[in-house]
Copies of this chain bind each other. A is one copy, B any other.
Amino acid sequence: MTEGTSRIEAFSDGVFAIAITLLILEIRLPHAGEAGSLSRQLVTLWPSYFAFALSFFVILVTWIAHHELMRLVHATNRPIQLANGCCLAYVIFIPFPTAVLAANLGGPEMKTAVTFYCATFVFGSAAFNVLVETIARSGCGRSDIDQAIAYIRRGFRITFGVYVAATLIALVAPWVALAINVAVRVHLLRIRYQPTTVSRAA
């Protein structure tokens, strides 16, 4: 029993849009009465701006990848809905490690914070690997895109390994780990998820 993808796309788009917008709630002025002029306080918030920009970029790229994946299926079923739910749980969770990162960037606990932040992406990558596997096995994929699915499966497995490596690196070199995470997303933006001959009116 299958059905179209419009409601799962609408629900997912809603979750992505809300999670990415909630990131701003983590940026807050210190309480009145604390030391320093306003301009100094605004400058002191740089870890919050940095974490906001980083997680914004991550969620945006994840949304694009999710978008591309959903274009490869013509229908959903219960396993796809559940696997998609795991991906959304990961997206919804992102604001919390972002807040942990912002609170500890440049501080004595930075290694722990970045490791936690990077570990979130290991979980997220696992969820997306499950989603791609589920799509590949569901019979909901479009017939002309077997090659694309195979390509994405291989790519997602490799990025999973990179996220694991970045998490381990974060234990000793947190800035390097963050740089690796950015690089992976830039790469995800550059790959093509589909052969150019595939087109679908969205």
| A158 within 8 Å of B (CB atoms) | no
* B residues near A10, Cβ cutoff 8 Å: 9-10, 13
Count class of interface residues, chain A: 35 or more
Is A151 part of the binding interface, using a Cβ–Cβ cutoff of 8 Å? no
Name A6's closest neighbour in chain B (CB-CB).
B202
| CB closest residue in chain B, given A82 | B189
Stoichiometry (number of copies): 4
Answer whether A24 and B93 are a contact pair too, CB < 8 Å, given A1-B192, A29-B99: yes
Is A189's CB under 8 angstroms from B78's CB? yes
**Contacts from A to B (Cβ < 8 Å):** 1-7, 9-11, 13-25, 27-29, 32, 37-39, 42, 52-53, 56, 60, 63-64, 67, 71, 78, 81-82, 85, 88-89, 92-93, 95-96, 99-100, 103-104, 109, 112-113, 116, 189, 192, 194, 196, 199-202
User: Would you give the shortest CB distance from A67 to chain B, in whole angstroms?
Assistant: 6
26 intermolecular pairs with C-beta atoms under 8 Å apart: A1-B199, A2-B199, A3-B199, A7-B9, A11-B16, A11-B17, A11-B63, A14-B14, A14-B17, A14-B18, A18-B21, A19-B21, A20-B92, A21-B22, A22-B24, A22-B25, A24-B92, A24-B93, A38-B100, A38-B112, A42-B100, A56-B89, A60-B85, A60-B88, A64-B78, A82-B189
